[in-house]
Amino acid sequence: MSDSLPPLKRYRREEDEEKSASEDDENYVPYVPLKERRKNAFTKLLRVSKHQVDEEEVEESSEVVGPQAKVSLLDQHNVLKKKAEAHKESEKDKQLEEEKRILQNISETRALMAVGELAKGVIYEHSIKTGWCPPRCVLKQSSAKCDEIRHKWHILTEGEDSPPPIKTFQEMKFPHHLLAALKKKGITHPTPIQIQGIPAVLLGRDIIGIAFTGSGKTLVFVLPLIMFCMEQERKLPFQSNEGPYGLIICPSRELATQTYEVIKFYTNALSSQSYPLVKTVLMIGGLAVRDQAESVRRGVHIVVATPGRLMDMLNKKIMNLEVCRYLCLDEADRMIDMGFEEDIRTIFSYFKQQRQTLLFSATMPKKIQNFARSALVRPITVNVGRAGAASMDVIQEVEYVKQEAKVVYLLECLQKTHPPVLIFSEKKAEVDDIHEYLLLKGVEAVSIHGGKDQEERQWAVREFKDGRKDVLVATDIASKGLDFENIQHVINYDMPGDIENYVHRIGRTGRCGKTGIATTFINKTCDESVLLDLKHLLMEAKQKIPPVLGNLESQNEDYLELGDERGCSYCGGLGHRITDCPKLEAIQNKQTNTIGRKDYLASSAPDW
Ligand code: ADP
Ligand code: MG
């Protein structure tokens, strides 16, 4: 038994083993590692979802590059390029969105309106009515013809019902004695800003006039105002204590004086030909209040003022704006930039009725245009060239000069051209130093800055204007609006902190069709951001780029021309966007630092 049992047992076992092996063969599931299982599940899922997702998504999920793709390298390159571009586009959209948000955050919540109007919620819907209308031949012009004229003169208008452009002073219906006075100044044909701007102002429209330096903006607001005042005087002569009818505000005493002199020239020419006398008063600091008050007491049509003295006269009730119907802010953006915003608000609050409001400048960033619009009724924006562009009649040269070598190099630089030459520096003390140095070297020089008394300032400007002095050294006080005849050369002893100030400084030369040179000293003390703005401004004006600027690259070079806005919408610089604007950052830091302080500590008066 013991012999037979084992084989039987063995047999059975073998049989069992075979059986179980054959059974296992049928249901055999080999072990699959977890990683593999996950991968399989994933491909299964992909296969299912393949029917649901659209074509584009499939393409993205099945992204295969390299030799296995069975697609030519060129096609693969195109696909990748398309993807990169799409990504970039979405980045650009994000940037635009961000910029919009910033611009909204910094835009003024308080409108630029009189308090009475704000309190009562008065909103004007119609422009001021005037007694002027275009001549029939102009009225007959089709809108296509108007567009053709605008196109020819590079005039861009924005706003409802753009008035027609008018190509001659005769067709603007100015009296022939005024035309004769213009001719005496060598003015026979209107400039582009005058072609479009003067008809708009004569029709009573509010305008924002933007045109490069020296393009004749002054006459756009001066000539219609003189006509309006003569019309008023004819209808109902101004009595004592009446007026003004028109108010012109300028950022500096020198510019106010110059504008006053331009007005006086034309009003005197007209009154000498038996036209009604239009009375004008110059209201600036540094002159006796008594004399200005006396002129106002006798009745006045036009006041040309700087904000400080004007506020003073209004606060003391020496003058009021009850019949004032015409307000012009010359170099408007500069004025707001210089910290006169609050003063301008206060001045607006003295108006008692609707007025025609005009703003002019060569630089007008979007932020200020938006802010100014709250003060305007159905405004027309007249643009000749890009706001903030430099005059094409200025040859711009930029030189790297070490700080310690500047003064000596200045003498060499002065020999580049004949006089008159203007030298700018940001600091009052530096202006004094340069002036002293030039006098020591025998150069016929004068200087002006805000630290000097008015008499000295007036004397210096007069000497320079009349050609008795060859060189004027000045702070930025002389950079806005001043119209010295035939300036040959502007030297920027330093690069201004703002590119807009640079545009205004060099705009003292190359005026009204003449050409001029501007030389700017730069070195490593200059802020890189403003140098980038300078580089792009030079590129725009097709000027030579010095290697030191050529090597500078903006971090966001691709974004500089985004949307319909070039460069920064806050400061107008072409070398950066609003998201990297150093000026905005500085202002915001300053605001944060002054939160909670008393007003008198938060003064933002410029150094000059
Ligand atoms: P802006 O204010 O645009 O910088 P201005 O009004 O000071 O320029 O004018 C610059 C110069 O051009 C002035 O001397 C002015 O007499 C002259 N001017 C103005 N209009 C004309 C014109 N239509 N033709 C010739 N010269 C002009
Ligand atoms: Mg001007």
Closest ligand to Cα 504: 1
Strands 207-211 and 356-361: parallel
Using pLDDT thresholds of 50, 70 and 90, give the confidence band for residue 1: very low
Count CB atoms within 10 A of the CB of residue 44: 10
Q: How far apart are CA 407 and CA 520, in angstroms?
A: 13
pLDDT at 63: 54
Helix, strand, or coil (residue 485): coil
Q: How far apart are CA 387 and CA 209, in angstroms?
A: 10
| Nearest atom, ligand 1, residue 218 CA | 6
The protein residue with its alpha carbon nearest to ligand 1, atom 1, reads 214
Burial of 458 (0-12, 13-18, 19+ CB in 10 A): middle
pLDDT at 27: 57
Q: 43 CA to middle of ligand 2, Å?
A: 72
pLDDT at 441: 95
Residue whose entry in the numeric block shows the structure tokens 């031949």: 137
Q: How far apart are CA 244 and CA 292, in angstroms?
A: 13
The protein residue with its alpha carbon nearest to ligand 1, atom 10, reads 214
401, 521 Cβ separation under 8 angstroms: yes
Q: 341 CA to middle of ligand 2, Å?
A: 19
In a mutational test of the pocket of ligand 1, which residue from 189, 394, 512 has the highest number of ligand atoms less than 8 Å from its CB?
A: 512
Q: 514 CA to middle of ligand 1, Å?
A: 11
pLDDT at 67: 59
In a mutational test of the pocket of ligand 1, which residue from 179, 187, 364 has the highest number of ligand atoms less than 8 Å from its CB?
A: 187
Give rounded-to-5 percent helix, strand, coil for the chain: 50, 10, 40
Q: What is the pLDDT of residues 127-145, one digit of tens each?
A: 889 989 999 999 999 999 9
Burial of 594 (0-12, 13-18, 19+ CB in 10 A): middle
**DSSP string covering 243-300, please?**
--SEEEE-SSHHHHHHHHHHHHHHHHHHHTTTPPPPPEEEE-TTS-HHHHHHHHHT--
pLDDT at 112: 72
| Nearest atom, ligand 1, residue 512 CA | 12
Cα angle, residue 125 at apex, residues 122 and 129 outer, rounded to 5°? 110
Closest ligand to Cα 222: 1
Distance of CA 393 to the CA centre of its chain: 20
- Please name the amino acid found at residue 549: L
Q: What is the pLDDT of residues 405-462, one digit of tens each?
A: 999 999 999 999 999 999 999 999 999 999 999 999 999 999 999 999 999 999 999 9
| Nearest atom, ligand 1, residue 220 CA | 6
442 to each of 433, 436, 473, how far by Cα in Å? 14, 10, 15
Q: Is the preceding omega at residue 190 within 30 degrees of 0, hence cis?
A: no
In a mutational test of the pocket of ligand 1, which residue from 153, 171, 260, 511 has the highest number of ligand atoms less than 8 Å from its CB?
A: 511
Residues with CB under 6 A from ligand 1: 185-187, 189-191, 194, 211, 213-219, 481, 483, 511-512
In a mutational test of the pocket of ligand 1, which residue from 168, 218, 223, 248 has the highest number of ligand atoms less than 8 Å from its CB?
A: 218
pLDDT at 564: 67
The protein residue with its alpha carbon nearest to ligand 1, atom 16, reads 185
- 19 pLDDT higher than 60: no
352, 116 Cβ separation under 8 angstroms: yes
φ, ψ of residue 547 in degrees (nearest 5): -55, -35
90 to each of 59, 84, 94, 100, how far by Cα in Å? 19, 10, 6, 15
| Nearest atom, ligand 1, residue 211 CA | 3
The protein residue with its alpha carbon nearest to ligand 1, atom 25, reads 187
Which of residues 572 and 111 earns the better pLDDT score?
Answer: 572
Q: What is the pLDDT of residues 62-116, one digit of tens each?
A: 555 555 567 788 888 888 888 887 777 777 788 788 888 887 777 665 667 766 7
- Please name the amino acid found at residue 150: R
Using pLDDT thresholds of 50, 70 and 90, give the confidence band for residue 248: very high
The protein residue with its alpha carbon nearest to ligand 1, atom 9, reads 216
| Nearest atom, ligand 1, residue 507 CA | 4
Residue environment code for 23-42, b if the CB has 16+ CB neighbours within 10 A, otherwise e:
eeeeeeeeeeeeeeeeeeee
Q: What is the pLDDT of residues 38-71, one digit of tens each?
A: 777 777 766 655 555 444 444 454 555 555 567 7
Count CB atoms within 10 A of the CB of residue 516: 24
- 17 pLDDT higher than 70: no
Highest mean pLDDT among 120-124, 436-440, 496-500: 436-440
The tokens describing 335, both together, are 């004025």
Q: What is the pLDDT of residues 158-190, one digit of tens each?
A: 999 999 999 999 999 999 999 999 999 999 999
Q: Is the preceding omega at residue 419 within 30 degrees of 0, hence cis?
A: no
Q: 266 CA to middle of ligand 1, Å?
A: 14
Q: How far apart are CA 319 and CA 312, in angstroms?
A: 9
Instruction: List domains and CATH numbers for the chain.
Output: 125-384 (3.40.50.300), 394-526 (3.40.50.300)
Q: 215 CA to middle of ligand 1, Å?
A: 5
Closest ligand to Cα 220: 1
Mean pLDDT taken over the chain? 85
Q: Which of 259, 150, 161 is nearest to 196 (CA)?
A: 150
Using pLDDT thresholds of 50, 70 and 90, give the confidence band for residue 123: confident
**pTM to 2 decimals?**
0.81
The tokens describing 13, both together, are 């076992």
Q: How far apart are CA 246 and CA 222, in angstroms?
A: 10
Residue environment code for 329-352, b if the CB has 16+ CB neighbours within 10 A, otherwise e:
bbbbbbbbbbebbebbbbbbebbe
Considering the chain, what percentage of its residues have pLDDT values greater than 70? 85
pLDDT at 571: 83
519 Cβ partners below 8 Å, 6+ apart? 397, 398, 399, 413, 416, 489, 490, 491, 492
